[in-house]
Copies of this chain bind each other. A is one copy, B any other.
Amino acid sequence: MASQSTAAKGRRGRKAGENAVPSSVQVLDRSLHLLSIVADNDGSTLTDLADHTGMAPSTVHRLLTSLANHGMLAHDPESGEWTVGVRAFEIGNAFLRYRKLGSISRPFLKRLMDACGETANVAIEDEGDVVFISQIESHAPMRAFFRPGRRGPIHASGIGKAILSTWSDTDIGQMLSGKTLAHFTAHTLDTLPALLKDIQQIRARGWSIDDEEHTLGMRCIAAPVFNEHGEAIAGISISGPAVRLPKNKLDVFGPVIHRTADELTQAMGGRKPHEL
């Protein structure tokens, strides 16, 4: 063992190794590092891992076996490959259960509100509606407000259209077939062609605009948030009086919201569609 001579070694002198994660339990660090490598490479062999980490093969083997005993890894004796196990899947999925969109999104909404000065919202899609989950209100005296749990029309809301934009035209048509596209204001896109045309733009741009389509005098900018399957399950938006959100502001805030949505996607363990 490379003894780092002299005294310098702080009580818990962590190996000089590559592992940047600060921590305190060596076996765990090493094991989880192995687990990560296996997960990221869709399987590895003992020697690969030993080489990769610089640990003794016997040590690596012991750790792998132990992880496997807990179902975190699986071992194919044929190929000698170690792969991620079911238990890891089960445990990982517990994440979804208390990944409350509400709580995770909160800091992101706060940042959005600070950056834009307008009320920020999260909403999900459910059975053809948009359901508002949570919001952070702007400090302005005149501001948008949606009560959590409130439903809104998917075709006439920034978040709704952002979500729709991730679907194919035929899927959109199917979802909306049967329903009539309710008319709210002179701006409402209440025909399928009009809606699809707007959605075309949203796809290209990455974020949607609700230009007084639901409420006169109110504009929204929104972008979609994806789940682990690359499906848009939610969206975030800012909304405020049209007078405070003129064209040039839209162009500035749009990308901000788009970026924030992507960050939220990541924070929730989701991924954008095309990747992978």
Q: Which of A29, A65, A72, A147: most chain B CB closer than 10 A?
A: A72
Provide the residues of chain B in CB contact with A86, threshold 8 Å: 95, 124, 126, 131, 267-269
Asked, given contacts A35-B91, A83-B98, A95-B88, whether A66 binds B103 with beta carbons under 8 Å apart, the answer is no
Chain B neighbourhood of A28, CB < 8 A: 27-28, 31, 63, 66-67, 70
CA distance A127 to B140 in the complex (A): 8
A25 at the binding interface (Cβ < 8 Å): yes
A89 cross-chain contacts in B, Cβ below 8 A: 92-93, 95-96, 131, 133, 149, 228, 269
Question: What sequence of 0s and 1s flags, for each residue 144-173 of chain A, a beta carbon within 8 Å of any chain B beta carbon?
Answer: 000111010000000000000000000000
Q: A39 to chain B: which residues have CB within 8 Å?
A: 90-91, 94
Q: A residues 186-220 with Cβ under 8 Å of B?
A: none
**A108-126 contact mask (Cβ, 8 Å, vs B): 1 or 0:** 0000000000000000101
A43 in contact (CB, < 8 A): yes
CB proximity of A256 to chain B, nearest CB, Å: 19
Does B32 contact A72, Cβ atoms closer than 8 Å?
yes
Q: State whether B90 touches A42 (Cβ < 8 A).
A: no
Task: State the copy count for this chain.
Answer: 2
Q: How far is the CB of A158 from chain B (nearest CB, A)?
A: 20
Q: Are B22 and A90 in contact (CB under 8 A)?
A: no
Given known contacts A21-B70, A139-B127, A84 and B91 CB-to-CB distance under 8 angstroms: yes
Residues of B within 8 A of A131 (CB): 86, 89-90
Whether A98 and B43, one on each chain, are in contact in the complex, defined by CB atoms closer than 8 angstroms, is yes
The reply to whether B149 and A69 form a contact with Cβ atoms under 8 Å apart is: no
Q: Does A229 contact B (CB under 8 A)?
A: yes
Asked if A75 is at the interface of the complex by the 8 Å CB criterion, the answer is no
Interface residues of A in 26-82 (CB under 8 A from B): 27-29, 31-32, 35-36, 38-40, 42-43, 62-63, 65-67, 69-70, 72
Name the residue in A38, A127, A141 with the highest tally of chain B Cβ atoms < 10 Å from its Cβ.
Answer: A127
Select one of B62, B83, B141 contacting A127, CB under 8 A: B141
Q: Among B69, B106, B276, which residue has its beta carbon within 8 angstroms of that of A229?
A: B106
- A23–B98 touching, CB < 8 Å: no
Q: Which residues of A contact B (CB under 8 A)?
A: 21-25, 27-29, 31-32, 35-36, 38-40, 42-43, 62-63, 65-67, 69-70, 72, 83-98, 102-103, 106, 124, 126-128, 131, 133-134, 139, 141, 147-149, 151, 228-229, 267-269, 276
